[in-house]
């Protein structure tokens, strides 16, 4: 009995986990930063209050993205979803800033 299939399985599993951690940390940071900017533009209060409120919510947003990264089964769907979310937020920010 060869160790090669076991080694390949555990190596692929470890690469999957490291990729998910990288997506959760860096993709979560990018989406959180974009959502802070978007919320500060959309909230109907003064700029100081809008920024303060959106920064307070950023911890919750990053935690939810982190949980969603490990709850999603497909890595391809996850990458596409984070990219789509970041793109939509970025386009909305560009449209609102004029």
Using left for φ > 0, alpha for ψ between -120 and 50, and beta otherwise, residue 57 falls in: alpha
Q: How many CB atoms lie within 10 A of CB 34?
A: 19
pLDDT of amino acid 11: 83
pLDDT at 7: 72
Residue 82, pLDDT score: 94
40-68 pLDDT per residue, tens? 999 999 999 999 999 999 999 999 999 99
Mean pLDDT of all residues in 74-79: 92
Q: Please, which pLDDT band fits residue 3 given cuts at 50, 70 and 90?
A: low
Dihedral (CA of 68, 70, 74, 79) sign:
positive
Buried b (16+ CB within 10 A) or exposed e, 60-86: ebbeebbeebeebeeeeebeebbeebb
Which pLDDT does position 2 carry in this prediction? 61
Residue 9: per-residue pLDDT: 73
Grade residue 98 by pLDDT with cuts at 50, 70 and 90.
Answer: confident
On whether the CB atoms of residues 39 and 57 are closer than 8 A, the answer is yes
Q: Domain ranges for the chain, please list them.
A: 4-97
């Amino acid at each position: 009995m060869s160790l090669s299939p076991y080694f390949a399985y555990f190596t692929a599993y470890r690469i999957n986990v490291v990729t998910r951690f990288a997506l959760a940390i860096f993709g979560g940071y990018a989406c959180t930063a974009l959502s802070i900017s978007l919320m500060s533009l959309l909230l109907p209060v003064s700029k100081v209050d809008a920024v303060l409120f959106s920064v307070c919510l950023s911890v919750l947003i990053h935690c939810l993205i982190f949980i969603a990264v490990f709850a999603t089964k497909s890595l391809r769907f996850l990458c596409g979803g984070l990219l789509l979310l970041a793109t939509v937020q970025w386009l909305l920010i560009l449209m609102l800033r004029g």
